[in-house]
Amino acid sequence: MGLLDAFRKDEVTGTKVLVCALGAQHEDLRKNDERIYKRFYPNTTSQTVSSVGDLKGLLKQGFEIVHLLCDVDAQGSLTDIAGAKISGAELLQTCLDSGTKLFWIASDNFADPYNVGFKPKGMKMNVILTERRLGPNCSLFIDSLLTKLSAGESFSKAWNVVSKPEGKSVQPDVPHTITSSGRGGVVLKP
């Protein structure tokens, strides 16, 4: 990173969003989250895929926001119904290579598999790994976050405001996540 890169504004206009489920078991969540994203980002693609190969092909189309609903196994990998796997590290690298700025696994998974397979430290990408969505409250959280992001706030600023609401000691709307702000200054406009 050169000196001038520190002063360059990291802003995307016409943000492309992928809301995707790996497997039919996450279909209801995909449809719910798709409705929220489409309110803020008209350039939203929503799809359920059944294979890891289809997922990789879709990711390579280049989406700035990837919102994925999937199960992560104990080794930190995603497995499709045919038994094909992709490691968390390979998944993150595929997204990074395709220009993703915000990667979010939005379905419930345990922290240990995330810690085994997903190593976002040092990656120039924001990563959100959900441990618990907290049911319908997660929809309110996603709505609040996308309201701020689509209005031109940077990811870090929007995340800090929405995930730690002022004056609330308990945040019932905030899902339990592991978050890495590798590109916190990015602005993702519709």
pLDDT digits (tens, 9 = 90+) for 38-96: 999 999 999 999 999 999 999 999 999 999 999 999 999 999 999 999 999 999 999 99
Both tokens of 77, joined, read 């990998």
Chain centroid to Cα 87, Å, comes to: 16
CATH of the domain at 89: 3.40.50.1460
* pLDDT for 172: 65
Separation of alpha carbons 13 and 18, rounded Å: 15
DSSP 154: B
pLDDT surpasses 70 at 170: no
* pLDDT for 160: 92
DSSP 110: -
pLDDT digits (tens, 9 = 90+) for 85-136: 999 999 999 999 999 999 999 999 999 999 999 999 999 999 999 999 988 8
The number of folded domains in the chain is 1
Domain with 29 in it? 4-164+172-188
pLDDT surpasses 60 at 140: yes
Separation of alpha carbons 104 and 127, rounded Å: 6
